[in-house]
Amino acid sequence: MVRAALRAFLPAAGGLLAAAAAFASGEGGAHGGGGIPWGEIAKQAINFAILVGVLVYFLRKPLSSFLKERAELMRKSIDDAANARAEAARKLEAVDARMAKLSDEIAALNARMDAESAAEAKALRETVSSEIERIRKQAEFTGEQEVKKARAELQKEASALSARAAEELVRKSLSPEDQARLVKENIEKIEGIVR
């Protein structure tokens, strides 16, 4: 870039110097009454051209490296900004995708909770049902046992009452001789069994 500017400037400066020298020599060095001092302009143009040449010669490398570094820095900044923008866009897409999935996840969680609560309610109903059935069977068994016990007590009491009634009846209807005879017969039967 600096070289291109130097290549374009040097021929123009050379042409300008040549024109100034030709004009100065044509004027003959006269500094008469109020004309343009072309000789002085030519000297200043030559000094300016030399100054520009020296500046270009000495500043070419530092200016070139500065411009390259600056261009590289700007390119890097632009790349970093593009990368940051792409990363932000990617994160935004991820957040948008997650937000879109969030409603589906909430619906799935609600459905799962409904299914779990229905399953728990069913299990609870089954447990309560089986517990009720167990308690009913236990109550029936206990009731049957109580009925059997009551019947046994009633039979025992009925037997005792029957025995008392029979004893009373036998006492009233049997005389003491009949009683002695019956006792004797029973003793004989018992002796016959024991032998």
Residues 140-173 pLDDT 10s? 888 888 888 888 888 887 777 777 777 777 677 7
Confidence of residue 75 (pLDDT cuts 50, 70, 90): very high
Q: Which two tokens stand for residue 18?
A: 């040549």
Q: Residue 43's CB: how many other CB atoms inside 10 A?
A: 13
How far, CA to CA in Å, does 47 sit from each of 18, 36, 129? Answer: 14, 18, 116
Asked if 3 and 63 count as a contact pair (C-beta separation under 8 A), the reply is no
Calpha distance 118→120 (Å, rounded)? 5
Residues 78-122 pLDDT 10s? 999 999 999 999 999 998 888 888 888 888 888 999 999 999 989
pLDDT greater at residue 24 or residue 107:
107
Q: Where are the alpha helices (DSSP H) in the chain?
A: 2-27, 38-173, 176-194
Query: 4-13, 45-54, 67-76: which has the minimum mean pLDDT?
Result: 4-13
Confidence (pLDDT) at 91: 94
Confidence (pLDDT) at 12: 62
Looking at the predicted structure, is the pLDDT value of residue 29 above 60?
Answer: no
Looking at the predicted structure, is the pLDDT value of residue 7 above 80?
Answer: no
> Of the candidates 71, 17, 13, which has an alpha carbon nearest to the alpha carbon of residue 39?
17
Looking at the predicted structure, is the pLDDT value of residue 132 above 50?
Answer: yes
pLDDT greater at residue 1 or residue 165:
165
Taking 3-state DSSP, the helix, strand and coil percentages for the chain, each rounded to the nearest 5, stand at 95, 0, 5
* AA identity, residue 157: E
